[in-house]
Chain A
């Protein structure tokens, strides 16, 4: 955390309101790009809604493990001033020059002094604040063990003996005289990301939420499943404390305008949320539990979400009932809850009993957020969400004020992350040019202790990671065992090792015990190595004197069914890590100047938007487009569903790109080769009619290569003049309204070529495209009869309101199933479409003047395959580029320095592509703010006197780095070495060692593993 004195310079910072996931992303992006941020949150700790979830889709991962490093990162950043328990009370001024009054409620605890020891909580539980409602376990204001800031908060009103409470704090941190303070801050831009709250179903008495304890909301169910929840992760019925046998979910509570007080919109994330809960439940209890989801349309439209739905259906045995039960009742004397429903194609009512019912409640803007909106003066829509720019959803009606996350519109985590970065990009652009702050890392970090002459003194710290490790094996016995190993000076159990508290404990132990080697027994070094390396640096020892034993991912998670084996394997893994860390040597990182030019591949809306944002920040851009002209798929589109003029928008975008002095455009350009590393790439390309070759040097690569309109040869497409895709339909409506006026019947078929075995995913955009065209047809020809044949209408978010409008205007929606698809036959210039209507239970035939096919999008397989090969990037099974982390890093590709935007990532709408492009521009700036790139220390070193100059390493190196120097032995430039270690394995004289993976370190692990084997 940062004292306010350093940030006194006014008008060159961004105020971020709301410290949930989106706000944290915005703040981190800005801070990493060397821009100052004030992050305020009404709660005592940052983290927002995500910290209350147990797992997230589609990986069913634990949330806190992925999120908490981000949170503590948030407080670590030097450019971020964090103000919790703080609200915006007044906003004055305009873009570039806002003055904001912030009011901070008294915490009665000095954050600088509080160590979160918990003494006050034990002595005076009633005065220490906790989150009411969901968190009905031990009263603590720390919602979860990794909370930031790591401190308590006091509710003075409940306290009867203030003096005794003050006296109980060993750190002297309790200050009963704390008062509400108001402070004025200046800022150039404001980002609002206060999140949304969930619909409260208490007033809907027919759902029984207020009367039956076993009716819970989806978030409460999540808390019940969570290891840090009220039942410590055991699934128990609130009424009886017994494990339920049958659980049901009811979708769309508070969404789609169904109940009193419900929003007219679709809440976007609840289908996936319910699927996840049902799957996690099935995974945990298998045959012992039955899960049923009552739904209207399953809306799994995100990237690979359809596969998740299929997994729930086919592999996990979740039962799906398309039905909207009216009420939940508890029959007299009965223990369970009964639901009466009808199913597809039937009028018979069925009554079934369940032990628990989960209400999938939707998002709603909170009263506090509405006040915030009123204070900032941004315009809100009828659903109390901000009115935003049609093409740029983070831009509000007030210049300089941006929005992100679920406050903007209901959405899931990856889209929140995208908007968080996009808002950072927009707000950052409003700041005066970044002033360069000298790297003050030296000032923050203590001087590194020279440990070269010391005997190894190893500290072993073992996490219990909640139940993840501690729930399977006995951590105390591991600690005892580790303490007996040679060189181990201290062994400790460390709860959540990655939490602020444990990190501080470990740091202190390193200092107090004079440790010079550290072993962490916890999770994967892939995700947490950086964090612990930094911890070592802060403790004054070289960060490479570390080994992480991955005892969670490789042992307790996979061997949870066999605790004895898990314990023995965990012990082995720890022994191996201790043996290896003894051999570890201090190393220093290599760094190189970064090339700040940027290569953008793809000249569609996404590529152009990202290029313009970065070019406006003064960077040099190379924009490559495969076709002869810029514009991509958007050239074929006319209007968005909201009425935004795409042709005009794209025309202006192209003009700005072509005129920009910092953007060099290459059309008819193909990438042919690529080499280098992040910050210093070289990409060869051929461009122009002559296909001239040229090599571009750049530090960052942005892929915005788009997708293709799908065109499956079905339903008479390309055979009958009456059959068109939705894109062609929109063009036709614009070009030939006269013909449209003559149409009597129009049929639209959804999911053509999507959600089928050949292309299992949903194309996301087609439901709204069909509604958009249907409404446009009715605009031209109100007499036209329109039939939309669909499988699930996936008009997520505010699109739902257009869907309802189409229904009101008489568009007929008829559902078909994949085993009984519609049939189209030619009838002169018309098409005869036959389909089975499940409500009428009969086959219908319509002679249509136009048949519009919702064909969706597929990946541009040829070019994405080639680019994936050249750039060494992974793709999904259906050919879209695969991001680094589907939840938290949706635009970062796994290879550092590479980013993806637009439909190259997955099918999406124009405004979503633009958000991603802005997000990419923000992520790129976090890299470009630095002048040098850290290459790490895993490089190969040659021991000259052992080298026989045999040239084997020269031939083995895939990057051509080793050469024979003037002294006659092999030399490897550490700045060029990629650290694969191939030369090491090939060298017959064993003259080369790869740092961090030295042979003696690997062999130490091998030998240690077999130490205990009885022979």
Chain B
């Protein structure tokens, strides 16, 4: 069997996580190419529907990356995002998708290293979980 390469969507807020990703770039810090970034103004903008749609379409993992606690450019968007993620995780369990496939992470603009590390850790975790049940099911 071909080696499983997960596809992971990272919704990154413009002010912190996306900037951290750029910093990882300028510092040439490698992380797995499995992670594909979608830029949003604030992690609080990431809709539950966007996450569910990603899983429905075949994502093996999704994570939302916002600013550190208390540092949100829009006051509390990251806290709202964290609550929403917790809620969607429950929902995923209910429909038979491991909730570990979804994470909320907080990274400040200066943390290029942490960005690369987080991307690596999440990719490894999803790789260990195997393909998403939706992908497996639709493949049948």
Chain A residues packing against B (C-beta within 8 Å): 59-62, 283, 524-527, 550, 552-555, 557-562, 565-566, 568-569, 572-573, 576, 869, 872, 874, 882, 894, 938, 956, 958-959, 978-982, 984-986, 994, 997, 999, 1002-1003, 1005-1007, 1009-1010, 1013, 1015
Contacts of B77 in A (CB 8 A): 958, 980, 982
Query: What number of B residues sit within 8 Å (CB to CB) of A?
Result: 51
Tell me the nearest residue of chain B to A59, going by C-beta: B26
Whether A568 lies near B33 (C-beta < 8 A) is yes
- A60-B26 CB under 8 A given contacts A979-B41, A1009-B7: yes
Tell me the nearest residue of chain A to B19, going by C-beta: A526
CB of B14 to closest CB in A, whole Å: 7
CB of B69 to closest CB in A, whole Å: 12
- A958-B74 CB under 8 A given contacts A558-B25, A572-B36: yes
Q: Which of B14, B26, B41, B109 has most A Cβ within 10 Å?
A: B26
- A554-B37 CB under 8 A given contacts A1003-B50, A1015-B138: yes
Contacts of A560 in B (CB 8 A): 28, 30
CB of A310 to closest CB in B, whole Å: 15
Whether A980 lies near B42 (C-beta < 8 A) is yes
Contacts of A569 in B (CB 8 A): 33, 36
Q: Tell me if B104 counts as interface (CB < 8 A to partner A).
A: no
0/1 interface trace, chain B 12-31, chain A, CB 8 Å (1 if under): 00100011011011111111
Contacts of B73 in A (CB 8 A): 872, 980
Whether A956 lies near B50 (C-beta < 8 A) is no
Q: Tell me if B100 counts as interface (CB < 8 A to partner A).
A: no
Additional 19 contacts, C-beta under 8 A, given A554-B37, A569-B36: A526-B22, A550-B22, A554-B25, A559-B33, A566-B33, A572-B36, A872-B73, A982-B45, A982-B74, A984-B47, A985-B46, A985-B80, A997-B45, A999-B49, A1002-B47, A1003-B50, A1006-B38, A1006-B54, A1015-B139
Contacts of B30 in A (CB 8 A): 558-561
Whether B29 lies near A558 (C-beta < 8 A) is yes
Whether A980 lies near B33 (C-beta < 8 A) is no
Contacts of A978 in B (CB 8 A): 74
Whether A981 lies near B42 (C-beta < 8 A) is yes
Contacts of A982 in B (CB 8 A): 42, 44-45, 74, 77, 80
Q: Tell me if B9 counts as interface (CB < 8 A to partner A).
A: yes
Whether A980 lies near B45 (C-beta < 8 A) is yes
CB of B102 to closest CB in A, whole Å: 14
- A550-B37 CB under 8 A given contacts A526-B14, A872-B73, A1003-B50: yes
CA distance A85 to B47 in the complex (A): 56
CB of B110 to closest CB in A, whole Å: 7
CB of A973 to closest CB in B, whole Å: 16
CB of B10 to closest CB in A, whole Å: 10
What are 27 A-B contacts defined by CB distance under 8 Å?
A59-B26, A62-B26, A526-B14, A554-B21, A554-B22, A555-B33, A559-B30, A569-B36, A576-B36, A872-B73, A882-B110, A938-B41, A956-B80, A979-B41, A980-B44, A980-B74, A980-B77, A981-B44, A982-B45, A982-B74, A982-B80, A984-B47, A1005-B38, A1006-B53, A1006-B57, A1007-B57, A1010-B58
Contacts of B14 in A (CB 8 A): 526
Contacts of A938 in B (CB 8 A): 41
CB of A647 to closest CB in B, whole Å: 39
The 3 closest A-B pairs by CB, nearest first: A553-B25, A981-B45, A980-B74
Contacts of B57 in A (CB 8 A): 1006-1007, 1009-1010
CA distance A550 to B57 in the complex (A): 23
Tell me the nearest residue of chain A to B47, going by C-beta: A985
CA distance A959 to B77 in the complex (A): 11
Contacts of A552 in B (CB 8 A): 25
Whether A1007 lies near B53 (C-beta < 8 A) is yes
CB of B53 to closest CB in A, whole Å: 6
CA distance A561 to B47 in the complex (A): 34
Tell me the nearest residue of chain B to A876, going by C-beta: B110
Whether A553 lies near B21 (C-beta < 8 A) is yes
From the candidates B18, B48, B50, name the one contacting A1002 in the complex (CB within 8 A): B50
Contacts of B3 in A (CB 8 A): none
Contacts of A565 in B (CB 8 A): 33
From the candidates A59, A576, A874, A999, name the one contacting B27 in the complex (CB within 8 A): A59
Q: Tell me if B39 counts as interface (CB < 8 A to partner A).
A: yes
CB of B51 to closest CB in A, whole Å: 9
CA distance A614 to B22 in the complex (A): 36
Q: Tell me if B84 counts as interface (CB < 8 A to partner A).
A: yes
CA distance A59 to B28 in the complex (A): 11
Whether A958 lies near B49 (C-beta < 8 A) is no
CB of B23 to closest CB in A, whole Å: 8
CA distance A555 to B36 in the complex (A): 9
CA distance A166 to B139 in the complex (A): 67
CA distance A986 to B79 in the complex (A): 13
Contacts of B58 in A (CB 8 A): 1010, 1013, 1015
- A997-B37 CB under 8 A given contacts A980-B77, A982-B80, A1013-B7: no
Contacts of B42 in A (CB 8 A): 980-982
0/1 interface trace, chain B 69-112, chain A, CB 8 Å (1 if under): 01101111100100010000000000000000000000011100
Tell me the nearest residue of chain A to B138, going by C-beta: A1015
Tell me the nearest residue of chain B to A1010, going by C-beta: B57
Contacts of B74 in A (CB 8 A): 958-959, 978, 980, 982
